[in-house]
Amino acid sequence: MNTPSERDILHYIGGADDASLFQRADTVRRSVFGDEVYLRGIVEFSNVCNKNCQYCGLRAHNRKLKRYRMTPDEIVSATDVVAREGLGTVVLQSGDDFSYSARTIGDIISRIKDRHDIAVTLSLGDRGLDEYAYWRDCGADRALLKLETGHVKLYERLRCGESFQERLHRIEGLKRLGYEVGSGIIVGLPDTDILTTVRDMVLLSHLELDMIAIGPFVPSPATPLAFNPAGDVELSLRVSAIMRILCPQANIPATSALDALLPGGRQTGLLRGCNVVMPSLTPEHLRSDYAIYPGKNMTEHNAVLKLNTVKESIARMGLVPSQSKGSSPRRHYVDQSAPRRPSGDYACRTAQCG
């Protein structure tokens, strides 16, 4: 099943042959990555967002959330912890908070790259490609921008009028800029079914991504979808496993949304084709306010102790928590004609959604 058809995918996704699916995914993962599990330290530096995605606890209209923004010095210090703990990648993540100018983010990236030999992943949302070009020049290595769903109408409804084509265009643009690009979907969003998920998977496989993040929908209080049912964890694990077989060389994280719905869900993911874990190294006093959904960052325990627990649980599975940067072995296409310098000003975009 190297390039499964929609029919093959439908067979596996329905759970008819889980044992064989998960075993094949594990074999493919091992053949590409051996025993290594790549660790990425996430620094969630702002929970302010100008968007209103109906599924997300950080949405602008959620007035119940205590908002925070870390200063550039605080962000760089948090990254020092990531490097000191031997993690090869830091992921800088935030809501779509455009109060950080392109220059400010660029300076943060340059400072991190000056201090540490680690990869920098950006998960900042819908910033301009000119900004991403500038940040690439500052040393950013990777960008993560999830499609969430490939169903255009649903995307535009759930993301309150954001354009699906623009998101897709941005992902393609990031590839041309030479980023290692990650994308992904939320499994079990309201008004989706198995066919939607299969189509999403086919779309993701055509995008030739370096990283593919699959996680179940977790209903979040104070959002319009608070009372919708959660996504099916088993289905989400099957989707990751099939994506592993479709895209052997992609990094596939065992997402925190798995753990939020099923204790130990991330470990299960590592036995079923996933090869990456992304522990939060956001400072303790802020971490629980990065409340995308319940179960995410709920603990205020010391970040380093928590990281050690994650490393130990990986080792207990006979796998190796890796210190490497953990790039995808895919070869990267770089379009030299793409813009690589800041062009124009970086005026904040305002929220589109009422």
* Minimum gap (Å) between residue 94 Cβ and ligand SF4: 7
Cα atoms found within 13 Å of the Cα of residue 212, Cβ hemisphere only:
29
Which value, in Å, is the radius of gyration of the alpha carbons in the chain?
19
Taking CB under 6 A as the rule, does residue 55 contact ligand SAM?
yes
Q: Which does 257 bind (CB under 5 to 8 A by kind): ligand SF4, ligand SAM, none?
A: ligand SAM
The entry of ligand SF4, ligand SAM, none that residue 146 binds, CB within 5 to 8 Å by partner kind: ligand SAM
How many CA atoms, within 13 angstroms, populate the side-chain half-sphere of residue 185?
Answer: 30
C-alpha 77/C-alpha 71 separation (Å) is 10
Query: If you count DSSP H runs as helices and E runs as strands, how many of each does the chain have, helices first?
Result: 13, 8
* Least distance CB 93 / ligand SAM (angstroms): 5
Q: Per rule CB under 6 A, is residue 56 in the interface with ligand SAM?
A: yes
User: Of 4-12, 79-87, 141-149, 277-285, which part binds ligand SAM (CB under 6 A)?
Assistant: 141-149
What is the three-class DSSP state of 232? coil
- Binders in 53-112 for ligand SF4, by CB under 6 A: 53, 56, 58-59, 95-96
- Amino acid letter at 53? C
Among 145, 242, 246, 247, the residue binding ligand SAM under the rule CB under 6 A is: 145
58 lies in the binding site for ligand SAM (CB under 6 A): yes
Q: How far is the CB of 188 from ligand SAM (least distance, A)?
A: 9
Cβ–Cβ < 8 Å for 257, 228: no
- 59 binds, options ligand SF4, ligand SAM, none, Cβ within 5 to 8 A by partner type: ligand SF4
Within 28-57, which residues bind ligand SF4 (CB under 6 A)?
49, 51, 53, 56
- Phi-psi category of 342—alpha, beta or left, where left has phi over 0 and alpha has psi -120 to 50? beta
Task: Decide: is 186 part of the binding site for ligand SAM (CB under 6 A).
Answer: yes
217 makes contact, choosing from ligand SF4, ligand SAM, none, with CB < 5 to 8 Å by partner type, with: ligand SAM
* Residue number with CB closer to ligand SF4 (95 or 265): 95
Alpha-carbon span 184 to 253, nearest angstrom = 10
Q: Residue 198: what are its φ and ψ, rounded to 5°?
A: -60, -45
CA atoms within 13 A on the CB side of 333: 9
Determine if 257 is a binding residue for ligand SAM (CB under 6 A). yes
| 215 sits near ligand SAM (criterion: CB under 6 A) | yes
**Bridge partners of residue 183, in order along the sequence:** 212
Which residues make Cβ contacts (< 8 Å) with residue 37, sequence separation at least 6? 270, 275, 276, 277, 314, 319, 320, 321, 322
Give whichever of 96 and 130 is closer to ligand SAM, judged by the CB atom: 96
Considering the complex, state which of residue 211 and residue 241 has its C-beta at the smaller distance from ligand SF4: 211
Q: Which is nearer to ligand SF4, 53 or 122 (CB)?
A: 53
Contact 59, 278 (CB under 8 A): no
- Kindly state whether residue 220 participates in binding ligand SAM, applying the rule CB under 6 A: yes
In the chain, at which residue ranges do the beta strands (DSSP E only) sit?
36-46, 89-94, 119-123, 142-144, 180-187, 211-216, 276-277, 320-322
User: What's the longest Cα–Cα distance across the chain?
Assistant: 54
Binding site for ligand SAM (CB under 6 A): 55-56, 58, 93, 95-96, 123, 125, 145-146, 148, 186, 215, 217-218, 220, 257, 292-293
Binding site for ligand SF4 (CB under 6 A): 49, 51, 53, 56, 58-59, 95-96, 125
